[in-house]
Amino acid sequence: MSEGMVEFRPVNNKGLGKNAPSAFERTFKAEITSIHQLTSMENLYRMQIIDPSERKGFSFEPGQFVMLELPGIGEAPFSITSSPLRHGDIELCIRKAGSLTNFLSRVGRGTRVGIRGPLGTGFPMEKMHGNDILLIAGGLGLAPLRACISYAQDNRSRFHNVDIVYGAKEPSQFLFTYQYDWWRADDIGLHITVEKPDDSWKGPVGMTTGILDQILASRGSSFHENTYAIVCGPPVMFKFVCSMLTQKNLPMQKMFVSLERRMQCGMGKCCRCNVGSTYICLKGPVFDYWTVMNLKEAI
Amino acid sequence: MLFKVIAKEELKRLFELLASSHTVVGPVKTGRDRTGLPLYAFDEVERFEDLSLDYAMTKIPAKRFFLPYREDMAVFEMRKDDWNKKVDYNMDRPRIFFGMHPCDINALNRLDKVLMGETYPMPYYIAKRQNTVIIGIDCTPRPYCFCRSMAADTALHGFDMFLTDIGERYFAEILSDTAFNFLRLIKTAEPAGEDHVLYKKAAAARNERFVTQVDTTDLMKILDMEFQSDVWKQWGDKCLSCGTCSNVCPTCYCYSVEATVDLKLTTARKTKMLYSCNLIDFAEVAGAHNFRPERHIRLKYRYYHKHRGFVEAYEESLCVGCGRCGESCLAGITVPEVIASVRSTL
């Protein structure tokens, strides 16, 4: 090398952890193994990471998300909806809402997609062991909660009461209806309600808060000592449910919510999910309610 | 710290030696604005005569050499039922940046905290940052500059060599062995007592030229208190949501990703484009719910990220006070005025 020549320094890509620069665009190639229509708007996609060792090494917590990429079409974040025990055999519940998801609704089994992740934080399920859990979902908010339900089923003896309070706009919009009996069989209380009933609907009508009120009334005044709540749904639902639980003395640190944002990187760089200087993709999407209360304009 | 003095003729010789074997980027004159003042930009320079080391300020910051406005993150080779993803960090040779002002150096130092540190360091940025040798140069503060208020008027690190014009010579601060080796190519001298005096005089003269100030005392708390203040609405009413401020900001790094396919359907690209939180769809999610649908909410968010959130995370502001946003804003919104109005809210 002649004098004064600057040497080129390639990016050091040693290691595989989150601190390796190569992690930034590391994509697992996966194949869609089944597509199950849940409603007229939502499909359940089961996909399998193709490389067996990558598949085995893919572990996640309920509440974490992945970036799903279709080359040439786009990439978007989705919560994992399947059980963590299934590793790289993951399920995503996806609503047709934009160009990527509409394209996805037209592909068939065998389509190869890219997966980056798992990303973000999960629900602290182990911390909740030995307690009652309330899983409160609105609409598509059931998707991330289904991973928690699977966890609760797989570890049923570690929890006391497990109750799902789930509201949808119309009866036709309920997701995962084929699993309800199975959840009940595992001694999980399932309470569903609709806003707009049709002629065939025989269940309760109204908001999730109404059902929640009834459940809490049956639990006694000291319920908050041994209860955790997990809430996921549209922002307006968070506000009502969490403020109601706060009024009933459930500590804010024992309520967990999952925030929705349109991440482009999922790795704390693109700022699209930023609230203040908090990256929802790094510090979230799962937060306790106390933290959310202190994030301005989070919900 | 190692100091040297370099005769101006010798610096020209250094430039020519470096430019003969490397890509050199530096400030060049590109024209004149409507008032007749020269316009400057950073560009590749081959001849020393084209370099304007006494430049006032470039419209577009040095950021674009580290975070290009458009950059391919990955290219996909498409086959019938499969694809193959190829990632390239788009940097294949070292580069020398000749003549960067302290505000732009400090902007990179602040970007380093987000893009190189913590989890998920960004290889596209790292590749460019670690392969760019930076020769800094002092500046003459302009009326828009408030870098002193943002603790960005002097660069303490993040460069290889820093030059201060002391008349006949440059006073050089050497921070890396790369720069030290450069100086072995030319004639330099140890600074004498007279050079120290000239340096201190030059620094004092520069300090006197700062006219704009921003009071950052307790700013984090004040911003929290004034989150619902009407002043945001007033500034929001003026804002055009055009994103020019982010475009010219040396520290705005947010981006959007675009996927495209070529006409033959054999190649697909994933392209990153710098974006702006002032653009209407920045915080939109699926189903068209927008977390920041109003102009003043987006403008406010930008201020809170720079002057509150980043301070909380890294104990310094993400604003370096270069004044480019205020100078370029079509609606005449400047950082010093916005912050003063928030502080003076009754």
Sort strands A65-70 and A112-119 into parallel, antiparallel or unpaired: antiparallel
Q: What is the ipTM of this complex?
A: 0.89
Q: What is the DSSP letter of A237?
A: H
- Neighboring chain A residues of B82 at a CB cutoff of 8 Å: 112
The reply to whether A178 falls in a domain is yes
Q: Distances from the Cα of A149 to the Cαs of A81, A223, A232, in angstroms?
A: 9, 21, 13
Q: Which of A58, A89, A119 is the last residue of a domain?
A: A119
pLDDT digits (tens, 9 = 90+) for A58-69: 999 999 999 999
Give the model's pLDDT for residue B289: 84
For residues A158 and A255, state if they share a domain.
yes
User: Amino acid identity, residue B67?
Assistant: L
Contacts of A100 (CB under 8 A, 6+ apart): A68, A70, A73, A74, A75, A76
Q: Do both A52 and A129 map to the same domain? A: no
Point out the least confidently predicted range of A11-15, A29-33, A77-81, B320-324.
A11-15
Q: What is the residue whose two structure tokens read 């089994």? A: A109
Q: Does the pLDDT of residue A157 top 60, yes or no? A: yes
**For residues B169 and B195, is the Cβ–Cβ distance under 8 A?**
yes
Q: For residue B287, how many other CB atoms are within 10 A of its CB?
A: 11
Give A-chain residues touching B126 at CB under 8 angstroms.
11, 21
- Alpha-helical (H) ranges within chain A are 52-57, 99-104, 142-154, 180-185, 208-217, 235-247, 280-283, 289-293
Residues A76, A198 within the same domain: no
Of A84, A119, A154, the position where a domain reaches its end is A119
Q: Which helix (H) or strand (E) holds A278?
A: strand A278-279
Test the B interface: residue of A18, A95, A269 with most B CBs within 10 Å: A269
Q: Which chain B residues contact residue A6 at CB under 8 A?
A: 22, 94, 96, 131, 133, 178
Q: With an 8 Å Cβ cutoff, is B220 touching chain A?
A: no
Q: What is the structure's pLDDT at B65?
A: 97
Q: Work out the pLDDT band at A277, boundaries 50, 70, 90.
A: confident
CB neighbour burial string for A200-214, b if at least 16 within 10 angstroms, e if fewer = eeeeeeebbbebbee
- DSSP secondary-structure letter at A61? -
Indicate the DSSP class of residue A5.
P
CA A67/CA B25 separation, integer angstroms: 37
CB contact under 8 A, A18 and B310: no
Q: Which two structure tokens, joined as six digits, stand for A1?
A: 């090398």
- In chain B, which residue's Cα lies nearest the Cα of A107? B81
The per-residue pLDDT for A298 is: 67
CA B54, CA B57: separation in Å to the nearest integer? 9
Whether A8 maps to a domain, the answer reads no
Q: Do A139 and A243 lie in a common domain?
A: yes
The answer on A280 and A205 residing in a single domain is yes
A48 part of a folded domain = yes
The tens digit of pLDDT for each residue in A179-193 reads 999 999 999 999 999
Spans of chain B below 70 pLDDT: 346
Q: Give bridge partners of residue A205 from the DSSP assignment.
A: A194
The answer to whether A57 faces chain B, any CB pair under 8 Å, is no
- pLDDT value of residue A2: 61
| Tokens representing residue B110 in the block | 């602040």
Higher model confidence: residue A295 or residue A144?
A144
The residue among A66, A86, A119 that closes a domain is A119
Within 10 Å of residue B162's Cβ, how many Cβ atoms?
23
In a domain, A107, yes or no: yes
Is A13 contained in some domain?
no
Q: Which residue of A has its CA nearest to B179?
A: A4
pLDDT of A1 reads: 43
What whole-number distance in Å separates Cα of residue A62 and Cα of residue A73? 27
> What is the Cα–Cα distance from A7 to B128, expressed in whole angstroms?
13
If asked whether residues A193 and A245 sit together in one domain, one would say yes
What is the Cα–Cα distance from A256 to A293, expressed in whole angstroms? 12
The count of domains in chain A is 2
DSSP code, position A72: T
- Asked whether the beta carbons of A292 and A259 are under 8 A apart, the reply is yes
Residues A6-34, mean pLDDT to the nearest whole number:
86
Give residue A37's pLDDT: 94
> CA A280 to CA A282: how far, in whole Å?
6
* Pair (A143, A254) in one structural domain: yes
User: A93 with A146, same domain?
Assistant: no
Q: Do A129 and A114 share a domain, yes or no?
A: no
Q: What percent of chain A has pLDDT over 70?
A: 97
Q: Is residue A5 part of a domain?
A: no
Give B123's contacts in chain A (Cβ within 8 Å): 11, 13, 21-22, 24-25
| Pair (A129, A268) in one structural domain | yes
Q: What is the pLDDT of residue B346?
A: 59
Largest CA distance in chain A: 86
Share of chain B above pLDDT 90, in %: 84
Is position A7 within any domain? no
| Domain encompassing residue A85 | 23-119
- Scanning A121-278, the segments in alpha helix (DSSP H) are 142-154, 180-185, 208-217, 235-247
Q: CA–CA distance from A70 to each of A89, A93, A177, B71, B220 (Å)?
A: 18, 16, 29, 19, 42
pTM: 0.92
* A150 and A101 in a common domain: no
In a domain, A277, yes or no: yes
Q: Which of A54-68, A69-83, A262-276 shows the lowest mean pLDDT across its residues?
A: A262-276
CB-CB under 8 Å, A25 with B182? no
More confident residue, B147 or A5: B147
* Helix/strand/coil for B126: helix
How far is residue A138 from each of residues A175, A227, B79, B114, B215, measured CA to CA in Å?
11, 20, 40, 35, 46
User: Is A270–B255 a contact, with Cβ atoms under 8 angstroms apart?
Assistant: yes
CB atoms within 10 A of CB B77: 13
Averaged pLDDT, A76-105: 92
Q: How confident is the model at residue A239 (pLDDT cuts 50, 70, 90)?
A: confident
Most distant pair of Cα atoms in chain B: their distance: 73
Instruction: Say if B115 is an interface residue toward chain A (CB within 8 Å).
Output: yes
Let me know: does B171 contact B163? Beta carbons within 8 Å.
yes
Chain A, residues 19-48, CB within 8 A of chain B, namely: 19, 21-25, 27, 29
Question: Over the stretch B144-200, which tens digit does the pLDDT of each residue have?
Answer: 999 999 999 999 999 999 999 999 999 999 999 999 999 999 999 999 999 999 999
Question: With left for phi above 0 and alpha for psi between -120 and 50, is residue B330 left, alpha or beta?
Answer: alpha
* Domain co-membership, A103 together with A145: no
Say yes or no to pLDDT of A235 above 60: yes
